[in-house]
């Protein structure tokens, strides 16, 4: 069995953003030379997320509105965590959207369903964050 590891560094200019990282992950699959296996894509920060969904702007706006209803950023004093940083809502949003995804690698390609893409979700941006890509297989 072979393994491949790479980290992406993502810096969003806004506090919240959704970034399609599918092309970068596909590049890693090609670099790995692995034809059959599994690809883990993992957010390496507690206020960011990795998830799979459709790359449709209206859906991304729906995510933003839905997450803001579930875990509104303000008022900051509604959260016990806020004090050192005002980012409690970002921790909650990450929990809702998830930490990582695992995608099968078949014949050297990500084995997606219809419309599936891999996204990085940022909920407390404006600084460098890391995403781990780990591919194992033959």
pLDDT at 84: 80
Residue 55, token pair as written in the block: 């790359």
Task: Supply the pTM of this predicted model.
Answer: 0.96
Residue 67, token pair as written in the block: 């997450």
Of 104, 136, 125, 128, residue with least CA distance to 47: 125
Write out the E strands in 24-85.
Answer: 37-43, 48-53
**What CATH number was assigned to the domain covering residues 11-137?**
2.60.120.460
Sequence spans of domains, the chain = 11-137
At 67-94, the pLDDT tens digits run 999 999 999 999 999 988 899 999 999 9
At 34-49, the pLDDT tens digits run 999 999 999 999 999 9
């Amino acid at each position: 069995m072979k393994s491949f590891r790479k980290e992406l560094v993502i810096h969003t200019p806004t506090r919240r953003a959704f970034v399609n990282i599918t092309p970068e992950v596909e590049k890693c699959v090609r670099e790995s030379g692995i034809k059959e296996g599994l690809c883990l894509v993992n957010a390496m920060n507690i206020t960011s997320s990795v998830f799979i969904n459709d790359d449709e702007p209206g859906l991304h706006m729906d995510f933003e509105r839905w997450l803001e209803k579930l875990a509104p950023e303000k008022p900051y004093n509604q959260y016990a965590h806020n004090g050192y940083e005002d980012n409690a809502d970002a921790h909650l949003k990450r929990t809702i959207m998830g930490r990582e995804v695992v995608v099968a690698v078949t014949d050297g390609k990500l084995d997606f369903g219809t419309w599936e893409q891999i996204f990085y979700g940022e909920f407390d941006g404006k600084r460098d964050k890391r995403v781990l890509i780990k591919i194992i297989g033959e």
